[in-house]
Amino acid sequence: MRGIVRAMATTLGTFVRGPVTREYPERHRPIPQRDRAFPLLLWDFDTDEPFCTGCHACERACPVECMTVLMKDNPAHTSLGGTSKRRKIIDKFWIDYARCMRCNICVEVCNFDAIAMNNTWSGHEISVYDRADLVMDLPQLLAQHKAGAIDEWVAP
């Protein structure tokens, strides 16, 4: 009988301790800075263009091949009368969030620190009715950092 009494005492102990539930949609737990949701592209505010030069490094390193990158000549390059030092710049960029396995390799291989993992709740709460809506194009990938909503963390 001792074991039963002990078990009942244990449950009574937790009864008194009170709930530990986090009520999720109402209260968002603060998530750590290193949180990895999905990759995003970063915006270079100095020259007002993306950091990304479309060098295909991330595309080649991606284990699940969820990225598609197209590069073009930068119209804002200094040789063309612009202010940017980037000779080439990203033209089109798609990331299929439905395929991405969030391994962080694209961030590690990027030579220009142009890509980072979304570390806000907006990266976790993306549910759509159509898988095609999870294929993000360049404006969508840039929008959050451009709006200053991301405090990105890139592994040193």
Helix runs in 77-125, H state only: 105-109
Does the footprint of another protein cover residue 4 (CB under 8 A)?
Answer: yes
Structure tokens, 1:
């009988």
E strand or H helix that includes residue 26: none
Residue with tokens 């694209």: 106
Cβ pair 121, 31 in contact under 8 A: yes
Does the footprint of another protein cover residue 19 (CB under 8 A)?
Answer: yes
Does the footprint of another protein cover residue 148 (CB under 8 A)?
Answer: no
Task: Choose which of 76, 105, 134, 143 interacts with another protein (CB under 8 A).
Answer: 105
Residue type, 26: E
Measured from the CB of residue 114, what is the shortest distance to another protein in angstroms? 18
Cβ pair 83, 76 in contact under 8 A: yes
Task: Choose which of 44, 56, 63, 151 interacts with another protein (CB under 8 A).
Answer: 63
* Binding residues vs another protein (CB under 8 A): 1-4, 6-15, 17-21, 23, 31-32, 34-36, 61, 63, 101-105, 108, 117, 119, 153, 155-156
